[in-house]
């Protein structure tokens, strides 16, 4: 796990990540309170994403309702580094759960958090996540190698 603090607020929304796994939207057991006067958030979706340094992030996004959550067809278009602002509705609340080095740890953190707020279990294809992480990290190394060769 990384010992640096996780971004919060607007910094979290501006984080550019490639999204490897995203859950279906789920109704919260108890609505999440928001700013005074704003409607509570009643649905959540979670995911595992990777940044340009190869770190994996487990995250959850609270959205106003299930209908306002982005469709799953949106996420594959975010395979390259995309900020959450471009994918999530403006009224959503993003919570980064962990920045870890393995897909197993990211899935465990996400699963533990979701089981506490929606009484649901997720079962992502961890083998796929391992392959996707390795491919993404290999692509990052290849890009860095090309950039360093170009500079020399």
Q: Is the pTM of this model over 0.85?
A: yes
Residue 145 lies in a domain: yes
Handedness of CA 130, 131, 134, 136 (dihedral sign): negative
Residue 1 lies in a domain: no
Residue 55 lies in a domain: yes
Give the HSE-up count for residue 78: Cα atoms under 13 Å, Cβ half-sphere.
26
Measured between alpha carbons, how far is 46 from 58 in angstroms, rounded to an integer?
Answer: 8
How confident is the model at residue 100, as a pLDDT? 95
In the chain, beta strands by DSSP E: 16-22, 26-32, 41-50, 56-63, 82-83, 93-100
Residue 2 lies in a domain: no
Band of residue 12 on the pLDDT scale cut at 50, 70, 90: very high
Residue 3 lies in a domain: no
Residue 98 lies in a domain: yes
How confident is the model at residue 38, as a pLDDT? 76
- pLDDT, tens only, 42-57: 999 999 999 999 999 9
Handedness of CA 138, 15, 100, 132 (dihedral sign): negative
Number of domains in the chain: 1
| Mean pLDDT taken over the chain | 88
Residue 136 lies in a domain: yes
How confident is the model at residue 68, as a pLDDT? 87
Domain extent at residue 66? 9-151
């Amino acid at each position: 796990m990384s010992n640096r603090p996780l971004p919060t607020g607007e910094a979290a929304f501006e984080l550019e990540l490639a999204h490897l796994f995203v859950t279906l939207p789920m109704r919260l057991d108890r609505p999440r309170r928001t700013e005074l006067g704003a409607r509570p958030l009643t649905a959540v979706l979670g995911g595992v994403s990777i940044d340009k340094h190869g770190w994996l992030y487990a995250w959850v996004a609270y959205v106003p309702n299930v209908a306002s959550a982005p469709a799953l067809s949106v996420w594959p278009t975010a395979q390259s580094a995309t900020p959450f602002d471009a994918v999530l509705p403006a009224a959503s609340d993003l919570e980064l759960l962990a920045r870890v080095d393995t897909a197993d740890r990211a899935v465990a953190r996400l699963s533990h958090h979701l089981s506490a707020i929606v009484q649901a279990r997720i079962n992502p294809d961890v083998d796929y996540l391992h392959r996707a992480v390795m491919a993404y990290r290999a692509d990052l190394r290849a890009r860095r190698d090309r950039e360093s060769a170009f500079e020399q």
